[in-house]
């Protein structure tokens, strides 16, 4: 097509040193440029140059008209001398005005040429750089709708190498730009809500936790000295409520922190020892309910883990104790797998109905409201911690009744 254009005397693209330019340059020799003639004739039909075979010019015009991209030829004085069919249709431009209308009148509906950072004028930029340039503009189409377009403009030169205008093609990037705008706005909102969340966590940790701790200590002191039964009941209620408030604040801030955490430092850990320690700590609670804790299996390997993983086992074993009937058994098993290990905690409690099996791992989902105390955050925290270990935690029905909570972890 470059040859054809050269033959038609329409343009030449100057070789360009711009590394960003995606356009191949075409040597600027051996033909005469006739900007005044390019498209200046009536009905957008360019008059062929003397001596040039008219069929070739017609062929070139047919080719340009077949292109889906709007293409225009603009001279150094901003006159639009040529528009292919796509450009004429885009701007609903009457071909009689070709060579008379100015580019900023057609696409920007203004009387002065484009300027500034937002709308750099392609004619000026190409004249200054001598290279192909790529700019984003907001145009009005023929119906008056605003469109964001990417313009690629290249210099046109005469035989004497004088700059005499540009040839530009346009690509409608409105959808892309609007999507980018949306993403940018979303990122700003996200940043703002993250800052708010951090502020809220700080307030919880520093400004709510200490007064709650003071209330709990005062209630504990009162309980120690008070002999009146009614007052003791009130103090006990204050003590339990403040204890619950403290747990909630601690859990909620831990979860918020974990949710924004991208990864945790992991180090080879004796997972069996970690589980044994968690079970030992919960021994007194189990004993109180007459529950027998049994640990089976012999994994004897190490797992890349963070100390926070211990709280996952404390939560699962603690829940098993909380939600198991008195005098039942809890079985903790550690088994080696192909590329890791699997830990299971089986209880003889009520079990978890199928529709709730995933939900209980989301925050504030509690199936036993009022019956057993809790915050509804323990499993959500456990899930996040396991995810940060690239592992998996889930629940199944235990054969014979109850539930089995399982954790799958990769080995070192
Ligand atoms: P919490 O126990 O503090 O309420 P969790 O997030 O640890 O919060 O657990 C969410 C809910 O899942 C619990 O309220 C309980 O209804 C249910 N659940 C957890 N573990 C068990 C279990 N072993 N047996 C029966 N239900 C359980």
Q: How far apart are CA 156 and CA 31, in angstroms?
A: 12
241 and 150 share one domain: no
Report which protein residue has its CA nearest ligand 1's atom 8. 376
348 and 389 share one domain: yes
91 and 209 share one domain: no
CA distances from 331 to 102, 324, 406, 407 (A): 84, 12, 12, 14
Ligand 1 atom closest to residue 350's alpha carbon, by position in its atom list: 25
Model pLDDT for residues 273-284, shown as the tens digit of each residue:
999 999 999 999
pLDDT of residue 101: 87
232 and 294 share one domain: no
Q: How far apart are CA 72 and CA 248, in angstroms?
A: 67
pLDDT of residue 61: 84
Report which protein residue has its CA nearest ligand 1's atom 19. 319
Locate 411 and state its tokens. Answer: 């080995």
242 and 305 share one domain: no
pLDDT at 404 over 90: yes
Q: How far apart are CA 388 and CA 162, in angstroms?
A: 64
Which residue, of 260, 290, 312, is where some domain finishes? 260
pLDDT of residue 50: 54
165 and 190 share one domain: no
Is 177 domain-assigned?
A: no
Ligand 1 centre to CA of 310 (Å) is 18
Most ligand 1 atoms within 8 A of CB, residue of 255, 331, 368, 402 to mutate: 368
pLDDT of residue 5: 46
Report which protein residue has its CA nearest ligand 1's atom 2. 374
Q: How far apart are CA 7 and CA 2, in angstroms?
A: 9
Ligand 1 atom closest to residue 361's alpha carbon, by position in its atom list: 6
Please tell me if the CB atom of residue 314 comes closer than 6 angstroms to any atom of ligand 1: no
Q: What is the DSSP string of 221-248?
A: HHHHH---HHHHHHHHHHHHHHHHHHHH
308 and 224 share one domain: no
Is 179 domain-assigned?
A: no
CA distances from 103 to 42, 75, 86, 152 (A): 18, 9, 16, 14
| CA-angle at 340, arms to 334 and 346, nearest 5° | 30
Structural contact between residues 126 and 166, judged by C-beta atoms closer than 8 angstroms: yes
Please tell me if the CB atom of residue 349 comes closer than 6 angstroms to any atom of ligand 1: yes
pLDDT at 349 over 90: yes
Ligand 1 centre to CA of 275 (Å) is 19
Ligand 1 centre to CA of 363 (Å) is 11
Ligand 1 centre to CA of 319 (Å) is 6
* Count of structural domains, the chain: 3
Q: Provide the domain limits for residue 232.
A: 184-260
Please tell me if the CB atom of residue 248 comes closer than 6 angstroms to any atom of ligand 1: no
Ligand 1 centre to CA of 272 (Å) is 24
Q: Exposed, middle or buried: residue 377 (CB in 10 Å: 0-12, 13-18, 19+)?
A: buried
Is 178 domain-assigned?
A: no
Please tell me if the CB atom of residue 376 comes closer than 6 angstroms to any atom of ligand 1: yes
Strands 133-140 and 292-296: unpaired
10 and 144 share one domain: yes
**Mean pLDDT value across residues 193-217:** 87
Model pLDDT for residues 236-273, shown as the tens digit of each residue:
999 988 998 898 888 888 888 887 778 888 999 999 99
Please tell me if the CB atom of residue 318 comes closer than 6 angstroms to any atom of ligand 1: no
Please tell me if the CB atom of residue 350 comes closer than 6 angstroms to any atom of ligand 1: yes
**Mean pLDDT value across residues 110-131:** 91
pLDDT of residue 283: 92
Ligand 1 centre to CA of 243 (Å) is 18
Report which protein residue has its CA nearest ligand 1's atom 18. 319
**Mean pLDDT value across residues 387-399:** 96
209 and 253 share one domain: yes
327 and 365 share one domain: yes
Locate 98 and state its tokens. Answer: 């070709």
pLDDT of residue 370: 73
- DSSP helix/strand/coil, 347: coil
Ligand 1 centre to CA of 200 (Å) is 26
pLDDT at 36 over 50: no
The strand ranges marked E within 230-363 are 267-270, 292-296, 302-305, 329-337, 340-346
Locate 350 and state its tokens. Answer: 């009520």
305 and 346 share one domain: yes
Please tell me if the CB atom of residue 366 comes closer than 6 angstroms to any atom of ligand 1: yes
Q: How far apart are CA 137 and CA 106, in angstroms?
A: 13
Displacement of CA 405 from its chain's centroid (Å): 32
Model pLDDT for residues 16-30, shown as the tens digit of each residue:
444 343 333 333 333
Locate 229 and state its tokens. Answer: 């039964």
313 and 207 share one domain: no
Ligand 1 centre to CA of 336 (Å) is 27
Domain with residue 364: its CATH number is 3.30.565.10
Ligand 1 centre to CA of 34 (Å) is 82
The pLDDT confidence band at residue 12, using thresholds 50, 70 and 90, is very low
């Amino acid at each position: 097509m470059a040859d054809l254009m050269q033959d038609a005397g329409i343009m030449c693209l100057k070789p360009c040193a711009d590394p960003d330019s995606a356009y191949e340059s075409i040597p600027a020799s051996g033909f005469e440029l006739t900007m005044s003639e390019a498209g200046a004739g009536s009905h957008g039909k360019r008059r062929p140059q003397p001596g040039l075979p008219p069929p070739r010019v017609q062929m070139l015009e047919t080719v340009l008209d077949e292109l889906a991209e709007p293409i225009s030829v603009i001279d150094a004085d901003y006159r639009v001398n040529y528009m292919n069919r796509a450009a004429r249709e885009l701007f609903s431009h009457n071909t009689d005005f070709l060579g008379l209308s100015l580019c900023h009148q057609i696409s920007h509906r203004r009387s002065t040429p484009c300027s500034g950072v937002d709308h750099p004028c392609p004619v000026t930029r190409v004249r200054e750089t001598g290279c192909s340039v790529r700019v984003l503009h907001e145009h009005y189409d023929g119906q008056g709708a605003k469109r964001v377009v990417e313009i690629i403009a290249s210099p046109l030169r005469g035989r004497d190498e004088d700059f005499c205008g540009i040839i530009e093609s346009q690509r409608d990037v409105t959808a892309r730009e609007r999507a980018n705008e949306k993403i940018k706005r979303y990122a700003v909102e996200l940043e703002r809500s993250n800052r708010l969340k951090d502020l809220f966590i700080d307030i919880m940790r520093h400004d709510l936790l200490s007064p709650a701790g003071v209330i709990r200590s005062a209630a504990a002191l009162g309980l120690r000295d008070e002999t009146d039964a009614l007052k003791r009941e009130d103090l006990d209620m204050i003590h339990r409520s403040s204890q619950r408030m403290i747990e909630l604040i601690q859990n909620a801030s831990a979860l918020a922190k974990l949710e924004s955490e991208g990864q945790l430092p992991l180090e080879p850990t004796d997972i069996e020892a970690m589980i044994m320690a968690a079970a030992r700590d919960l021994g007194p609670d189990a004993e109180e309910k007459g529950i027998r804790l049994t640990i089976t299996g012999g994994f004897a390997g190490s797992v890349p883990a963070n100390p926070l993983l211990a709280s996952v086992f404390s939560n699962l074993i603690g829940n098993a104790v909380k939600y198991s009937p008195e005098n039942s058994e809890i079985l903790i098993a550690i088994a080696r797998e192909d590329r890791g290990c699997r830990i299971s905690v089986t209880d003889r409690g009520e079990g978890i109905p199928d529709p709730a099996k995933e939900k209980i791992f989301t925050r504030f989902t509690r199936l036993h409201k009022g019956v057993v105390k809790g915050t509804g955050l323990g499993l959500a925290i456990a899930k996040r911690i396991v995810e940060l270990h690239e592992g998996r935690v889930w629940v199944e029905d235990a054969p014979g009744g109850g539930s089995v909570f399982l954790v799958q972890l990769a080995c070192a």
